[in-house]
Amino acid sequence: MADLNELVEKLSAIRTSIEEDIKNVSNFKEAFEYRKVLMDSKTGKVGSLMREMGKIPGELKAEYGKRVNELKNWAQGAVDDLEKKFKEAELNLRYEKEAVDVTLPSKKHKIGNLHPNTQVRNQLVDIFGSMGFDIFEGNEIETDYYNFTALNIPADHPARDMQDTFYLSPDFLLRTQTSSGQIHVMEAQKPPIKIISPGKVFRSDDDATHSPMFSQMEGLVVDKGITLCDLKGMLDVFVEKIFGDGTKTRLRPSYFPFTEPSVEVDVSCFACHGKGCKLCKGTGWIEVLGAGVVNKKVLEDCGIDSDVYSGIAFGIGIERIAMLKYGINNIKLLFESDVRVLDQIDD
Ligand code: DAH
């Protein structure tokens, strides 16, 4: 028959063996399984102790029961601690693995950029918009009258040969110049007039610097006392904004039937700053647009009194500006939509 000492020793040996067992538990799952084994009511080192109550002498039962409960509480606490320790460690490991460094720069999603033509058009619109110009949207299909006659280019005028025209019928054509918009505006609006009109134009023309369809932007100012000086001053501001500070303009005499006098406008070469390079063909100057003082006849035909009002006009080739600005040597590159080319121009 067991005495109390023997029982206490037995319980203490069980505790020591549990302490040893615990040293070999290495993760939460094992701790969880170990609790089941330990507390199994038939086979468990702790769970089965109460089954032995029958064998314990009556006077020791209460003490034994108390000690067994103590051991059980201790064992449960020990496994609780163990589980908690592993749970925390495993959670920390997971946090570490799944950690997101919110300070890292985000992945850039490449979104497309606007077509170089659109970029230049927007720049032109912004620049002239900031000078107070309104936008007029003209028609791509025009009558012979608006594209030529009203611009002082009557039938059989040699200037018609300057532009190879796509006729749709004897009276209708694809406009060869945004200048046709000038007439619409002057017919519809009384001075002061200050508009730009960007859009597509069409000519039967095709080589490295010409395309059958291209874009222009027309400008027209009509008011009292407008002179060539206003044109020069305005273009000086424009070229610095589009080609960079220090870019100068130079006006050369030219001829357009709808302006008198007419000028070609050159800019100082923004690549070599006037020294002479490939871009400016060694001259230091690059031709960028046509302009002039609106011909009195054009004003009069639109019902504007040319003794009271005068005007200036200019026409800019948008592809030409894009080609110069971005170093594009063939206008086709602006129409082929090759992303390897377009990707490089994000101004
Ligand atoms: N329309 C002309 C062209 O296509 C460009 C031009 C020249 C427009 C002089 C103008 C101007 O308004 O005044 O060649």
pLDDT 10s digits, 44-78: 999 998 888 888 888 888 888 899 999 999 999 99
Q: How far is the CA of 171 from the centre of ligand 1 (A)?
A: 21
- Gap from CA of 273 to ligand 1 centroid (Å): 26
Q: How far apart are CA 302 and CA 191, in angstroms?
A: 11
Mean pLDDT of 150-173: 88
Task: Please give the Cα distance from 278 to 247 (Å, whole number).
Answer: 17
Ligand 1 atom nearest residue 220's Cα:
12
Tell me the whole-structure pTM to 2 decimals.
0.70
For the chain, what is the mean pLDDT? 93
Give residue 1's pLDDT. 47
Ligand 1 pocket, mutate which of 147, 163, 179 (most atoms under 8 A from CB): 179
How confident is the model over 163-189, as a mean pLDDT?
95
Question: What would the pLDDT profile of 136-161 be if each residue is shown by its tens digit?
Answer: 999 999 999 999 999 999 988 877 77
Tokens matching residue 221: 């100012």
Q: How many A from CA of 219 to the centre of ligand 1? A: 9
Q: Output DSSP code: residue 80.
A: H
- C-alpha 155 – ligand 1 centre gap (Å): 18
- pLDDT tens by residue, 329-343: 899 999 998 999 999
CB of 314 sitting under 6 A from ligand 1: yes
- Nearest residue to 72 (alpha-carbon basis) of 21, 3, 11, 30: 11
256 lines ligand 1 (CB under 6 A): yes
260 φ, ψ (degrees, to nearest 5): -155, 110
What's the whole-number mean pLDDT along residues 248-257? Answer: 96
